[in-house]
Structure 1
């Protein structure tokens, strides 16, 4: 079975997240020496002056900021880009946004494992450079066709896929467990709405001139950020196990069979749903891709459980708590993806709101998101993470209901405004709560996969959620693009969003009840033993 050596090398990247990057590894390698090293581990950020810590945290948070920047900068100009390429089928526009999140969700785990073996800081800088390169190519696609644009957007998403897990790993290595680490993670999550709004604003501004400058300007900023991070991020410790591995051993450690089957399953499954939104399920290649994706998924689980000695996703670590966490996270962030895309599409298509005005409409997420991030940072440790998750799922549900019931041509200060204020609470609470719950639910040797798995679910759910909603929209409006049929199609996507958020809320309540019963049983056992 694959359980024998799963934790020893897996824990490098994000096991450091719990402040034990070497102690965990030492259990199976050189107990005495490595345990001493674990005891002597210096949390680098704790030794830095406050001004230097702020620069360091801001640089790390740029991973989440630029991730949402890449999503937001296309969301509000998706119609502008579609018109440039002559895309008449509005459902095909899903790919312009979904391809980016698809590759982030697909490659996060692989990038985290690469960080284990080759260094998190090095991978962070490489990720920023890759992101800058393909953002530049995305803009240059203006001289080609939509195929190159979508292709570049897909490869663009590999940049955040590399920076996100390694940023979390760097935070874990640099801060000792406690309030400051919780606040750092909360600020990391709070960078998401700010990045999204900056993306919307720059998209709307540059669309007034020429839309490729949205990507060219971002490419310049990303390149500068990659160079700056080489100085801003302190040198990171490397665990002894990865340092002593040969190149062949590092390749084996990457779990090539698991990587291949996992990537194939995620890509094919996602491709089938997002493509079906544009061309329908009548096309044979669409459902063939869906079937192949499911088969590769079965093969992936078989490889990880029975074949791989060091699986990239150690399924032995999963339990019922993890199932609740991942289920809630998937529903919540799929809800967010549908909300941000279809809310913008609804008001731009039916109410003739411009991209720049849409950025202003979304702007309240910045103060609301910062307040939510600060509140979550304070609450974690004082209030159960399960309660924080319930609050986040409730925010997703209420925000979805508001946008689904929004009348056409309603003024901004109605449903849309309050939906924006409420739904960002779900964004800034569900991610840190899921990370903490995942950390508490698994053994120490599996801590390393926590943030990577959560970020995989977050970004993949955004992409696959758009595919599901696009299919619903297509079936409701039945191929017609009249004003009334468009409205019915968008309403269908919104009501699907409400269903998803409701499912997530119910799961979060069930998890809360489960946690309460477990604590009650433990308290009863203590009383009996006393």
Structure 2
């Protein structure tokens, strides 16, 4: 990611209007990048029905493949923006995102769709840090906090409208439309992106460590593949063990190499901060359980309650709206003690919703108002609180000159956790193939256990402390 220490105190573009235009374009890019996570969740049952000969565990790579590629390349992509020029890379990444979205929308088979999603995640990985770097370069220092809040809110808004947008597109045009809609949006951002003020100078001369970057990407993919396909291959099968152990070894190798390399693939030095390490651990665990729950929701409504895509979208929007409201409210809490207890409360709200969903209250008979809506409100509110508290904790742990790097690392932790969460979902359903309801109850119980672990982590005082008080 980009080091902001080298940029001048006042941005070259000067006027607030120019900074506002940069923020608008960058927020648009963040919106479409994160929208693709939530719209695919609502479309997943329909996509799966289109490929009846492909195992569910394999189809989950439509979701996790995007997250893995995004996570693995996010940090080195920031350095590449410094080498090639931020504005130039941003435009190229937007064009690649449009092209890979087109590939997904026209995919003739499941293999093509998975390949398209991985490629789309790679494009998003280059697009997001370049957009953030442009915002940081164009915004006066005293306004950076507000700009980052707007940029982050664009991703949150994508999560809120994702179910409704995805449901409407799938119902009216089919699942391919959730990918094809990205094409005109991404192309529309390219021209204003190229016209953003300020010179597109190169701020670095060397690329991030290619060996470490490749090791991280391959290692993460191998670990998630082992977890996803372990039930199918056999947990003690040579292929599973090779993928699991080999992937872990590659990730470990990349981390060790990054400690000594002058242009590391992973900014491991940031983890020396106890607060930052705890925030990233919390982000990893919570996103794992959150991704599994968000993907399981439309599957549950489709498989057990027989909801249409639009009915599922409406039901899921309840939790998304609660998440948006709670995140805004908790964002107004500024003291460390208040943040800590808000985070614990949010994690407990989320956990209680998942415990409830693992019981017979969620059975084969629809119970929208008596069960789904209240559980969605509890869980959604908890998600909004926890994500905001963990994001704030990560930002508080960072000195200003490493803010962009740290935000990128935090997003990486979330994406890796999300990919593994989807893999756990696949493993649970592969382990319990003949009892769908029991599989859902088991998954919700696992998600609840992870939520409880996050509550304990959030109770640690040093996680939400201000750096100036340490």
Distance in 2, matches of 1:429 and 1:364, equals: 16
- The answer on 1:495 being equivalent to 2:462 is no
Q: Retained in 2: the 8 A contact 1:186–1:432?
A: no
What does residue 140 of structure 1 align with? 106
Q: Retained in 2: the 8 A contact 1:165–1:451?
A: no
- CA drift at 1:56: 4.0
- CA drift at 1:370: 4.1
- The answer on 1:207 being equivalent to 2:170 is yes
The 5 Å alignment of 1:217-296 reads 217-231=181-195, 233-235=196-198, 238=201, 241-242=203-204, 245=205, 250-251=206-207, 254-276=208-230, 279-281=233-235, 283-296=237-250
Please identify runs of 4+ aligned residues in structure 1 that moved more than 6 A. Answer: 381-384
Q: 2:278 aligns with which of 307, 324, 334?
A: 324
What does residue 153 of structure 2 align with? 190
How many pairs does the alignment contain?
A: 466
What does residue 449 of structure 1 align with? 405
Distance in 1, matches of 2:336 and 2:92, equals: 37
Mean Cα deviation higher: 413-422 or 144-153: 413-422
- CA drift at 1:441: 2.9
- The answer on 1:42 being equivalent to 2:11 is yes
- CA drift at 1:411: 2.7
CA gap 1:430/1:104 in 2 versus in 1, 3 angstroms: farther
Structure number, greater radius of gyration: 1
- The answer on 1:152 being equivalent to 2:116 is yes
Distance in 1, matches of 2:382 and 2:147, equals: 18
CA gap 1:510/1:151 in 2 versus in 1, 3 angstroms: same
Distance in 1, matches of 2:67 and 2:114, equals: 12
- CA drift at 1:435: 4.4
- CA drift at 1:345: 0.9
Describe the SS at the equivalent of 1:313.
Answer: coil
- The answer on 1:15 being equivalent to 2:12 is no
CA gap 1:470/1:199 in 2 versus in 1, 3 angstroms: same
Distance in 2, matches of 1:182 and 1:516, equals: 15
Mean Cα deviation higher: 86-95 or 283-292: 86-95
Distance in 1, matches of 2:209 and 2:262, equals: 8
- The answer on 1:466 being equivalent to 2:422 is yes
Q: 1:303 aligns with which of 257, 267, 290?
A: 257
Distance in 2, matches of 1:284 and 1:113, equals: 37
Q: Retained in 1: the 8 A contact 2:216–2:254?
A: yes
CA gap 1:396/1:190 in 2 versus in 1, 3 angstroms: farther
Q: Retained in 1: the 8 A contact 2:74–2:125?
A: yes
Please give the per-residue CA displacement for 1:400-452, whole angstroms capped at 9, x wherever unaligned. 33433442234322332234334444554545544443344355654442011
- CA drift at 1:213: 2.7
Describe the SS at the equivalent of 1:364.
Answer: helix
Describe the SS at the equivalent of 2:246.
Answer: helix
- The answer on 1:89 being equivalent to 2:42 is no
What does residue 172 of structure 1 align with? 136
Distance in 2, matches of 1:426 and 1:341, equals: 17
- The answer on 1:117 being equivalent to 2:89 is no
> How does the TM-score come out when normalised to structure 1?
0.79
Distance in 1, matches of 2:113 and 2:389, equals: 35
RMSD: 3.0
Please give the per-residue CA displacement for 1:307-331, whole angstroms capped at 9, x wherever unaligned. x123232423323222211111011
Describe the SS at the equivalent of 2:421.
Answer: helix
Distance in 2, matches of 1:165 and 1:115, equals: 8
CA gap 1:393/1:171 in 2 versus in 1, 3 angstroms: farther
Q: Retained in 2: the 8 A contact 1:265–1:293?
A: yes
What does residue 411 of structure 1 align with? 367
CA gap 1:103/1:88 in 2 versus in 1, 3 angstroms: closer
What does residue 526 of structure 1 align with? none
Distance in 1, matches of 2:239 and 2:99, equals: 32
- CA drift at 1:113: 1.4
- CA drift at 1:127: 1.8
Distance in 2, matches of 1:103 and 1:200, equals: 23
What does residue 357 of structure 1 align with? 311
Q: Retained in 2: the 8 A contact 1:334–1:464?
A: yes
CA gap 1:256/1:385 in 2 versus in 1, 3 angstroms: farther
CA gap 1:470/1:388 in 2 versus in 1, 3 angstroms: same
Distance in 1, matches of 2:334 and 2:199, equals: 26
Q: Retained in 1: the 8 A contact 2:322–2:377?
A: yes
Mean Cα deviation higher: 218-227 or 287-296: 218-227
Distance in 2, matches of 1:504 and 1:287, equals: 29
Q: Retained in 1: the 8 A contact 2:2–2:79?
A: no
Q: Retained in 1: the 8 A contact 2:69–2:122?
A: yes
What does residue 107 of structure 1 align with? 73
